[in-house]
Structure 1
Amino acid sequence: PRGRHIVSFPRLLQTMLLLLLLTMAFPLIIGGREAEPHSRPYMAFVEIKKGENQSNMCGGFLIREDVVVTAAHCNCNLGDITVLLGAHNISRIEPGRQETWVRRRIPHPEYNDETYENDIMLLQLAQEARLSDQVQLIPLPRYEEKVKPGSMCSVAGWGQTSVFPGKTSDVLMEVDLEVMEDRNCSRHFLNHYKPRTMLCAGDQHRRKSSFNGDSGGPLVCGRVAQGIVSFGPNDASPPEVYTRVSQFIPWIKATIGKLQAPDPLEFSSCP
């Protein structure tokens, strides 16, 4: 399987003809649409800096004023991580948006970078977010809560809007997906799919999905963050696999309980 990997900047330069062809072939976030601005105030844009002029991107979601959840495969030891909250168009300065360094990154201790098992990571922010109309928390599910197959959920992100590399979105995109039966997910992904800690979603009739650069974003079902964008096919064909958040509630609570309060004067580098 291929993870919904972080996307590198700067973006690849495209000719005008190629851009036109890509737009015609793959409109928007693989079958999705632009989100209503600030309709998902829990969304976080996660940027991992690789040097002075390069960075990688992921998504995430705010669960406490100083904690963002993302995917463990977004972890990178090459540079600092910054988190942007309250954004819709990441290329513009918008009222109400907040940016801060990540004080501490905590990937799940049993994350496997080959199988994507336990693909979850917590980011402790250097400064607490100020909750507002643009910035809000999203609820987590109860421990071992199951999402019924057939449930309609949605996922959002700023990742690639086509299967061709380099074309990401400045505005937040979203797409609706249907949660699938575990047996169907297992048939698609064979031994890579672990029903206890993963779930999958897609559309059986159209190509709809998150894609590269959307890693770490939430699969939202009934206003609850039930999944985390993890991995899927290279061609964005459905379904895709998400980390099942409900199985990690004890780890999330225990880890958050050990965190010290953020220090607004402390902006640390990656360990």
Structure 2
Amino acid sequence: MAAVLILLTFLLLLGADAEEIIGGHEVKPHSRPYMAFIKFVKDDGKNYRCGGFLVRENFVLTAAHCMGSAMSVTLGAHNISFPEETQQIIPVAKAFPHPGFNNKTFPNDIMLLKLERKALKTEYVRPFSLPRSNVHVKPGDVCHVAGWGMLALKGKLPDILQEVELTVQKDQECEFCFRRRYNKATAICVGDPKIKRASFLGDSGGPLVCKNRAAGIVSLACNDGSAPGTYTRVSSFLSWIQKIIKRS
């Protein structure tokens, strides 16, 4: 439990806005047209970043702990350091964090962002498929996570989209690390603790892609720079997602 508290303190000091790609590689430019780069301001007045993914022309799905003010979304990006012709930068009109989210224990870490206008669908910008309610990932499934998070614990934030391949683990791996904060009904345990590949500080809100669908959302890591991590199980929130989109 002490290790978990130390980790939470560490995350808060760094903004706790994201997870980081460790042991990954640069993706083929614009091969992930659903990816969203999210910028926002926290209460401390500093700028932060998260990942996310387009699920409708005017809705982006991300993590609830990526909440802030002056939120904007960049779509169609590979290198975020300069304005590529493929990019569409759209302000967020309204954020819908899950009502059951708690920023101390991170349950229900999921949020929808309604954009001020619809994104123009191109070969570089396209919505991504949500999982089917009756199809679940299982231990041993190989998935991948992309984002603009740091490449090392003390490294700088990269400009180029990175990706890492991760394996789904048994729930016991995360139940041991996260104790009572891990709920297998709404979360997925991902990342082999014996391999130096993980999401950590820099990518929260990005999609865990399994079988060409967004099975999870990057939420929280167990240990600094190592696996496993807990990912919000998207299939557990399909009715909530559909309700928000329909009402908005």
Q: What TM-score, normalized to structure 2?
A: 0.90
CA-CA distance at 1:83 after TM superposition: 0.2
The Cα RMSD (Å) is 1.8
Q: Deviations over 1:192-244 (max 9, x none)?
A: 21000001111243211112120100000011000000001342211011000
Aligned-residue sequence identity (percent) comes to: 47
Counterpart in the other structure of 1:199: 188
- Give SS of 1:102's match: strand
How far apart in 1 are the matches of 2:134 and 2:177? 23
Query: Please, which of 130, 139, 149 is the counterpart of residue 120 of structure 2?
Result: 130
On the 8 A contact 1:161/1:211 being kept in 2, the answer is no
How far apart in 2 are the matches of 1:48 and 1:213? 13
CA-CA distance at 1:145 after TM superposition: 3.1
- Give SS of 2:241's match: helix
Flag as ranges the 4+ runs of structure 1 deviating above 6 A.
none
Runs of 5+ unmatched residues, structure 2: none
- Give SS of 2:226's match: coil
How far apart in 2 are the matches of 1:49 and 1:73? 12
Counterpart in the other structure of 1:55: 47
User: Would you say 1:82 and 2:72 are equivalent positions?
Assistant: yes
Counterpart in the other structure of 2:172: 183
Query: Please, which of 186, 207, 222 is the counterpart of residue 218 of structure 1?
Result: 207
How far apart in 2 are the matches of 1:177 and 1:54? 31
CA-CA distance at 1:188 after TM superposition: 2.6
Q: Show the 5 A alignment for 1:1-271.
A: 1=4, 2=8, 5-6=16-17, 29-49=21-41, 54-76=46-68, 79-143=69-133, 145-164=135-154, 167-259=156-248
- Give SS of 2:177's match: helix
Higher gyration radius (CA): 1
- Give SS of 1:189's match: helix
CA-CA distance at 1:144 after TM superposition: 5.0
Counterpart in the other structure of 1:266: none
Whichever residue aligns with residue 206 of structure 2, its letter is G
- Give SS of 2:236's match: helix
Whichever residue aligns with residue 129 of structure 1, its letter is A
Q: Deviations over 1:83-110 (max 9, x none)?
A: 0000000002212110010000000011
CA-CA distance at 1:113 after TM superposition: 1.2
Runs of 5+ unmatched residues, structure 1: 8-27, 260-271
How many pairs are equivalent?
235
